[in-house]
Amino acid sequence: MATLTVLGGSAAGAGTGRGCSGYLISTDEATFVLDLGPGTLTELRRHADFRTLDAVILSHLHVDHVLDLVALRFALAYNPVRPPGLVPLRLPPRGEAFLDRVADAFAEPGKAGAFFPDVFDIDEYDPASVLTIGDARLTFAPTVHYVPCWAIRIAHPGGGRALVYTADTGPAADLAGFVAGCGVMVAESTLLEPSEEPFSSRGHLTAEEAAGLARTAGAETLVLTHTWEERGVDRYREQAEEHFGGQLLLAEPGLTLEW
């Protein structure tokens, strides 16, 4: 058994009743979250006990993917579990230095050092290695984005097809091999048309590019995420439908998918 529950789906600012990036994964032996952007903790609480998560894993350190980590920190601090346990927090490289800066900003004077370690077991993952959470095995691939960012592939614990989360990426990322054969792809599709940035350094996909990546992978299901409601959610769907013939879903809080 493996389940994806979408916690948000909006691009860089939370939408109407739809937070930013956050995805809950449940398997027989593990319950963990990929990214925890603003507005996602409230949805997470509908589906899982935040105190007993097996991990929070961050793809990159942009605010729309990490901000509710601060809210989770306070929720854990004021609602400790018995016996006390720390929620594993797995950060991308250089994430610990980032966390120190966040703690400096939010902690009471002199208490920054314990701000996150009081509630999280903090470690940086090695993107070149497998990260194991219970029966889930996660691998990583670098994307093209404005800060270092990693796409995440979760092997199906029961031997089925994998799930891939692209995180934030531009079209120049070399992801074809990484996504090949996945059954479900959660792909960012921030754009409806390419920005004026050079192709090589653009940090987001169009819906057409997201659909093309899912088609290349041979995915059965594409979940479009990281979208702006101001641009018209149906327009993302229409554009992707022209380039992907499988099941097409739009990320919204509570969307649940067995994979």
Binding site for Zn ion (CB under 5 A): 62, 168
User: Smaller CB distance to Zn ion: residue 62 or 202?
Assistant: 62
Closest separation in Å from C-beta 69 to Zn ion: 15
Strand 184-188 and strand 221-225: the pairing is parallel
User: Smaller CB distance to Zn ion: residue 68 or 168?
Assistant: 168
Closest separation in Å from C-beta 62 to Zn ion: 3
User: Smaller CB distance to Zn ion: residue 99 or 136?
Assistant: 99
Residue 21 has which token pair?
């990036």
Closest separation in Å from C-beta 142 to Zn ion: 13
Closest separation in Å from C-beta 16 to Zn ion: 21
The residues, ordered by sequence, that sit 6+ positions from 244 with a Cβ below 8 Å of its Cβ are: 211, 212, 214, 215, 222
User: Smaller CB distance to Zn ion: residue 148 or 218?
Assistant: 148
User: Smaller CB distance to Zn ion: residue 170 or 253?
Assistant: 170
Closest separation in Å from C-beta 200 to Zn ion: 17
